[in-house]
Structure 1
Amino acid sequence: MHIMFVCTGNICRSPMGELLLTKYLAGTTIRVSSAGTHGLPMHQMDPSSATLMQSVGIEPSGFRSRRLTQDMARSADLILCFEKDQRKDIVTLAPTAVRYTFLLGDFANMCEYCARNGLVKGLTIQERLQSVIDASSIIRPMLPEPADIEDPHGKEYGKFRIAAEQTNKALRTILTSMRKHYRVEEAPVRPQITSQYAYTV
C-alpha cells in the first residue's frame, strides 16, 4: 500500500505527515510519501516543521519537496490532504483518485466510525485501511463536515505546532482504529505531547 500526503507547497504540513506516519509504520510494508499541489521541487522542509520533527527524534534533513503529478496521484492507494481546495486540485489532476483522496481529519473520522461499528475488515493494516476506503462513500454522509488543517507557512511557530498536533491526533486516531482488538469503550485518542511537543509513538 502507498499512502501519500498532499498539501500546497510540500514543505510544511505534508512532510510532517509523511515523516510521522513513516515512524509509526516502521516495520510494515506500507510506503509513505508526500507532494504538493503547488510543490516547490527539491526545497527542504520549512525550518519550523523541521524543528518539530527533530523534537521527536525524526531527522528531517534528507527531505526534499515534490510537485504532485498525475502519475504520482495514480500511484497512490490512499491520498490524505489538509484542505478542501487541495482535494479539488488533486481530483482535477487525476479524476480516478477521487475514490481514495480524503482530508486527513475526514479519513480519521471514517476510521473511528468503522472501528466503532465493526466495519473494519482484514488481517493486515493494509487490508483494514482498504476496507475503510471501500466503505467511505457509504459512511461519509453520516459524519460531520471535516475541518481544514490551516497552512502555517509564513506564520509564527505556534501555528506550526498546532498543525503538527492536529496531524498527529488524526494519525493516532487512524492507527488506533486499525487495531484488531479495538474496544468501543476506549476514550477518544489524544496526541500525547510533552512540553517539547514530542509525539508518543
Structure 2
Amino acid sequence: MHIMFVCTGNICRSPMGELLLTRYLSGTTVQVSSAGTHGLPMHQIDPNSALLMESVGIEPSGFRSRRLTQPMAKSADLILCFEKDQRKDIVTLAPTAVKYTFLLGDFANMCEYCARNGLVKGLTIQERLQSVINSASIIRPMLPEPEDIEDPHGKEYAKFRTAAEQTNKALRTILTSMRKHYRVEEAPVRPQITRQRARRSTP
C-alpha cells in the first residue's frame, strides 16, 4: 500500500505527516510519501516543521519537496490532505483518485467509526485500511463535516506546533483503529510534540 500526504507547498504539513507515519509504520511494507498541489520541487522542509520533527527524534534533513502530478496521484492507494480545496485540486488533476482521497481528520473519523462498528476487515494493516476506504461512501453521511488543518506557512511557531499536534492526533486515531482488538484508550507509541523555541525561517 502507498499512502501519500498532500498539502499546498509540501514543505510544512505534508512532510510532517510523511515523517511521522513513516516512523509509526516502520517495519511494515507500507510506502509513505508526500507532495504539494503547488509544491516547490526539491525544497527543504520548513525550519519550524524540521524543529518539531527533531524534537521527537526524527531526522528531517534529507526531505525534499515535490509537486503533485497525475501519475503520482494515480500511484497512491490512499491520499490524505489537509484542506477541502486541496482535495478538489487533487481530484481535478486525477479524477479516479476521488475514491481514495480524504482530509486527514475525516479519514481518522472514518477509521474510528469503522472500528467501533466492526467494519474493519482483514489481517494486515493494508487490508484493514483498504476496508475503511471501501466503506467510505457509505459511512460518510454519518460523520461530522471534516475540518481543515490550517497552513502554518509564514506564521508563528505556535501555528506549526498546532498543525503537528492535529496531524499526530489524527494518525494515532487511524492506527489505534486499525488494531485487531480495538480499544479507544490504546494508542501506538507516539512522538510527543514538544514546545521548543522557533527557528527563524529563511527568506
* TM-score for the superposition, normalised by structure 1: 0.93
- Quick check: 2:42–2:64 contact (8 Å CA) kept in 1? yes
SS at match of 1:20: helix
- Quick check: 2:78–2:101 contact (8 Å CA) kept in 1? yes
- Quick check: 1:12–1:152 contact (8 Å CA) kept in 2? yes
- Quick check: 1:11–1:45 contact (8 Å CA) kept in 2? yes
Cα 1:192–1:56 change in 2 (3 A) is closer
Give me the whole-angstrom Cα distance separating, in 2, the residues matched to 1:13 and 1:160: 8
Alpha carbon RMSD of aligned pairs, Å? Answer: 3.8
The CA deviation at 1:126 is: 0.2
The CA deviation at 1:192 is: 4.9
The CA deviation at 1:19 is: 0.1
Give me the whole-angstrom Cα distance separating, in 2, the residues matched to 1:166 and 1:35: 19
Give me the whole-angstrom Cα distance separating, in 2, the residues matched to 1:197 and 1:124: 40
The CA deviation at 1:188 is: 13
Cα 1:197–1:149 change in 2 (3 A) is farther
Cα 1:184–1:161 change in 2 (3 A) is closer
Match of 1:174 in 2: 174
Give me the whole-angstrom Cα distance separating, in 2, the residues matched to 1:193 and 1:34: 20
The CA deviation at 1:178 is: 0.1
SS at match of 2:163: helix
- Quick check: 1:41–1:66 contact (8 Å CA) kept in 2? yes
SS at match of 2:190: coil
The CA deviation at 1:76 is: 0.0
- Quick check: 1:165–1:191 contact (8 Å CA) kept in 2? no
SS at match of 1:65: coil
Give me the whole-angstrom Cα distance separating, in 2, the residues matched to 1:170 and 1:85: 19
SS at match of 1:44: coil
The CA deviation at 1:108 is: 0.1
Match of 2:37 in 1: 37
- Quick check: 1:121–1:127 contact (8 Å CA) kept in 2? yes
- Quick check: 1:37–1:86 contact (8 Å CA) kept in 2? yes
Q: Which moved more, 1:178-187 or 1:22-31?
A: 178-187
CA deviation map 1:65-104 (0-9, x unaligned): 0000000000000000000000000000000000000000
Cα 1:98–1:189 change in 2 (3 A) is farther
How many residue pairs are counted as aligned between the two chains? 200
Give me the whole-angstrom Cα distance separating, in 1, the residues matched to 2:55 and 2:84: 29
SS at match of 2:87: helix
- Quick check: 1:111–1:132 contact (8 Å CA) kept in 2? yes
The CA deviation at 1:185 is: 7.3
Structure 2 spans left out of the alignment, 5+ residues: none
Cα 1:21–1:156 change in 2 (3 A) is same
Cα 1:24–1:167 change in 2 (3 A) is same
The CA deviation at 1:111 is: 0.1
Cα 1:134–1:60 change in 2 (3 A) is same
The CA deviation at 1:195 is: 5.2
- Quick check: 1:173–1:189 contact (8 Å CA) kept in 2? no
The CA deviation at 1:167 is: 0.1
Cα 1:176–1:46 change in 2 (3 A) is same
- Quick check: 1:41–1:67 contact (8 Å CA) kept in 2? yes
Q: Which moved more, 1:175-184 or 1:78-87?
A: 175-184
Cα 1:191–1:119 change in 2 (3 A) is farther
Structure 1 spans left out of the alignment, 5+ residues: none
CA deviation map 1:90-125 (0-9, x unaligned): 000000000000000000000000000000000000
- Quick check: 2:161–2:193 contact (8 Å CA) kept in 1? no
